[in-house]
Structure 1
């Protein structure tokens, strides 16, 4: 899912508790869910601005409820479990954050997920469901309930990712072993751990005269989106927009970045890549990131 959002445990917990399990619905496209109220203020760290970001004290952490009956214990034993994908797309729509969720053909209507997003102070203004060879795709257009604008705070984007993954694990427990975050709040952790040194790839390329494109692929973990933006802005590089994908055990991020309104020059590209690589490959991370 390209919203999967990390478990930086900073004290606030959101759990979808509407008691309704998502069920299969016909393919549809319709406006749904308007939230009139949301959570308290989220610390306003905007991706468009340069500055220091902190992953502690702001990220919202959902926790999955215990599930005792996983489809009679047989689901996933007789067929191949697809790779869960959550995509958070900040580029496609200037007015809304686009979230896409894919889990083969197993996803229902995801009403529980939409209700959980509403509890974060968000409006799901449009939802589309479509099928292709890779399975059923659920795509949401999300705005902030208080402003009607797209989400720009890294902490809230991470909370969206965590909320979606939390609900995916809750209503599709078999996905837990397919997701890196299954080890954080799922029933079954992944059978294999990703070698961070091998999995981490960083690349910076020109993206016109005024910005560069930063691509990061690494082992997923809670709090990753917030921490990536923090590292980038700590060296005075502006993050303008981008896309954050959670694909099973991996996270893949694309950020449009600039330095003083211009594309990043080669020496600064190396500084950026080295800073990210050093942080991502450390054997341990700060407790504030969880």
Structure 2
């Protein structure tokens, strides 16, 4: 079967809307209305306040605006953001089993494990000033479950605050863009180096499954 499987893309966007978390899901033009996904998000204690679909040359994009049911505000807890991401991906794997060949989580949960893994040496980390009171941190690395939570923990453990950002799952890759600051100021060159070293050290470590013999 030489059918080309599109790259599944899941975007969690904290930048576009001040009041809600935007989740965008694309898998070529194969996705339906995603009613089960919406239902599963409600079961996480979330409200889908708006859902729409738009088409462009890269496919059909399903966009949801999500708030926490308890507060009516956007989701700010990294554990819950990761739960949203994994819920969306698990539904993709369930209803579109062919997507598992293009998802890192297909290794653990999918019908078809990916044919290739992302080389960990392809990890890219960049930090640069982004205006007078913040910096932009960009991380691109091999995806794995729990990655969003781990990245947030590494950054905040060295007292760098994350104001907002976006976390994209593009097939086997994860791409994070975080607006960060240190005590209301851009991250200094010295602290940028500490941040970069911490992230590189963590991202090069094998996960528990890979490390066990």
Instruction: Give the TM bin, normalised by the shorter chain.
Output: over 0.9
TM-score (norm 2): 0.96
Aligned partner of 1:60 in structure 2 is: none
How many corresponding residue pairs? 210
Distance 1:212 1:234 in 2: 17
Runs of at least 4 residues off by over 4 Å: none
Q: Which residue does the alignment assign to 2:168?
A: 245
What SS does the aligned partner of 2:112 have? coil
Cα distance change of structure 1 residues 202 and 113 upon mapping to structure 2, 3 Å threshold:
same
1: distance between equivalents of 2:110 and 2:43?
21
Counterpart check, 1:234 vs 2:118: no
Whole-Å Cα distance in 2 between the matches of residues 112 and 149 of structure 1?
23
1:174 corresponds to: 98
Structure 2 CA distance, aligned partners of 1:282 and 1:214? 20
Equivalent positions of 1:115-134 (< 5 A) are 115-134=39-58
Higher RCO (C-alpha 8 Å, min separation 6):
1
* Alignment pair present for 1:163 and 2:95: no
Q: Structure 1 length normalisation: TM-score?
A: 0.71
Displacement of 1:195 after TM fit?
1.2
Please state how far the C-alpha of 1:222 moved relative to its aligned partner.
Answer: 0.4
Structure 1: unaligned runs, 5 residues or longer: 1-76
Q: Following TM superposition, by how much is the alpha carbon of 1:79 offset from its aligned partner in structure 2, in angstroms?
A: 2.1
Partner of 2:66: 142
Instruction: Mark the CA change 1:286 to 1:177 in structure 2 (over 3 Å): closer, same or farther.
Output: closer
Q: Which residue does the alignment assign to 1:99?
A: 23
Find the partner of 1:260 among 136, 158, 183.
183
Residue 158 of structure 1 aligns to a residue whose secondary structure is: helix
SS state at 1:231 partner = helix
Q: Distance in 2 between matches of 1:184 and 1:244?
A: 21
What RMSD, in angstroms, separates the aligned Cα atoms of the two structures?
1.2
Does the residue aligned with 1:191 lie in a helix, a strand or coil? Answer: coil
Structure with greater proportional strand content:
2
Distance 1:229 1:175 in 2: 27
Query: Quick check: which one's helix share is greater?
Result: 2
Unaligned runs of 5+ in 2: none
Partner Cα separation in structure 2 for residue 172 and residue 114 of structure 1: 16
Structure 1 position 242, deviation (Å)? 0.3
Which residue does the alignment assign to 1:88?
A: 12
Alignment correspondent of 2:113: 189
